């Protein structure tokens, strides 16, 4: 089994859809218990703006581009995962085998993760630990064409953030009870995973495909803010020759 041990949390590891509300994810007793646990652990609130999703502890460890996808996410999908068998021919996400789909986070579900984990200053620790990651739940935060994936592990409470080549794992031992309840609740909701591409549920090219989508865009309004257009940054024909030259240095320098 391709397991990796986390010896120092808080560092970089080198190595259709159902929508659920909080009441759907937890029984009333579970919700009360989770809120009580969070209240006990989060005695001091992180002094961040109302729009900030991640605590300063997480913000200081995760690349800004990864944080942006979480804070501005337009969709959040949930998957149950485990270690991938090298011999198996199945769907994977960040090297983890997808066991099932636990749906799309509703506004309440997204808020639950924010309140219980992401903005909870006392749910994580910078201390070293020694245990093996046990993948349970993977969340995919989508903002436009970009994504940030977040893996929840239990036992060995830990959270791993994936964005491009950046992989950051933090020790979640102080929030272990919250991690346990969340992973068990979401795992219980899992259904067989079906590739959205096979059934035409995901078109990532940013083009309107049908009348319903056209109407939705009309309701949003053809504004730069709503449609996230960056046309102002598009080079004109007059300066194309200057902007198309390779950089003198950097990742795109020609050899």
For 128-166, the pLDDT digits (tens) are: 888 899 999 999 999 999 999 999 999 999 999 999 999
Positive/negative CA dihedral, 201, 204, 206, 209: negative
User: In the prediction, which pLDDT does 48 show?
Assistant: 44
Query: Per-residue confidence at 44, pLDDT binned at 50, 70, 90?
Result: very low
- Average pLDDT for residues 212-225, to the nearest whole number? 72
Percent pLDDT > 70 in the chain is: 65
User: In the prediction, which pLDDT does 102 show?
Assistant: 95
CA torsion, ordered 61, 162, 141, 211, to nearest 10 deg = 140
**168 contacts 61 by C-beta, under 8 angstroms:** yes
User: In the prediction, which pLDDT does 21 show?
Assistant: 39
Task: Please report, for residues 76, 79, 157, 159, 199, the alpha-carbon distance to residue 183 in angstroms, rounded to integers and kept in the order given.
Answer: 16, 11, 10, 12, 28
d(CA 80, CA 50): 30
Bridge-based pairing of strands 19-20 and 96-105 is parallel
Query: Per-residue confidence at 100, pLDDT binned at 50, 70, 90?
Result: very high
Query: Per-residue confidence at 2, pLDDT binned at 50, 70, 90?
Result: very low
Closest-CA residue to 180 (of 150, 151, 159, 155)? 155
- Average pLDDT for residues 1-30, to the nearest whole number? 38
| Residue listed under structure tokens 């046990």 | 134
Is residue 61 exposed (0-12), middle (13-18) or buried (19+ Cβ within 10 Å)?
A: buried
Q: Does residue 200 carry a pLDDT above 80?
A: no
- Average pLDDT for residues 197-212, to the nearest whole number? 74
Residue 93, SS3 per DSSP: strand
Task: Report the DSSP beta bridge partners of residue 171.
Answer: 125, 158
**18 contacts 109 by C-beta, under 8 angstroms:** no
Chain mean pLDDT for the chain: 76
Peptide bond into 157 cis (omega under 30): no
d(CA 177, CA 116): 11
d(CA 162, CA 99): 19
User: In the prediction, which pLDDT does 239 show?
Assistant: 47
């Amino acid at each position: 089994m391709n397991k990796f041990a986390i010896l120092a949390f808080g560092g970089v590891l080198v190595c259709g859809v159902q929508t659920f509300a909080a009441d759907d994810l937890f029984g009333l007793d579970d919700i009360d218990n989770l809120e009580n646990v969070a209240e006990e652990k989060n005695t001091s609130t992180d002094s961040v703006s109302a729009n900030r999703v991640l605590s300063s502890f997480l913000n200081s460890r995760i690349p800004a581009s990864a944080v942006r996808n979480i804070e501005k996410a337009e969709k959040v999908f949930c998957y149950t995962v485990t270690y991938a068998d090298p011999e198996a021919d199945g769907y994977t996400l960040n090297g983890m085998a997808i066991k099932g789909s636990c749906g799309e986070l509703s506004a309440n579900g997204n808020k639950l993760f924010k309140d219980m984990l992401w903005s909870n200053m006392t749910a994580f620790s910078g201390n070293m630990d020694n245990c093996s990651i046990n993948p349970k739940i993977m969340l995919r935060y989508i903002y436009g064409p970009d994504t940030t994936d977040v893996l929840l592990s239990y036992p060995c409470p830990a959270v791993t953030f994936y964005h491009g080549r950046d992989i950051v794992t933090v020790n979640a031992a102080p929030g272990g009870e919250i991690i346990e309840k969340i992973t068990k609740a979401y795992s219980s909701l899992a259904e067989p995973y079906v590739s959205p591409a096979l059934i035409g549920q995901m078109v990532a090219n940013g083009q309107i495909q049908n009348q319903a989508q056209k109407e939705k865009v009309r309701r949003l309004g053809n504004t730069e803010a709503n449609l996230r257009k960056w046309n102002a940054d598009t080079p004109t024909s007059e300066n194309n020759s200057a902007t198309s030259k390779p950089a003198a240095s950097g990742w795109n320098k020609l050899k």
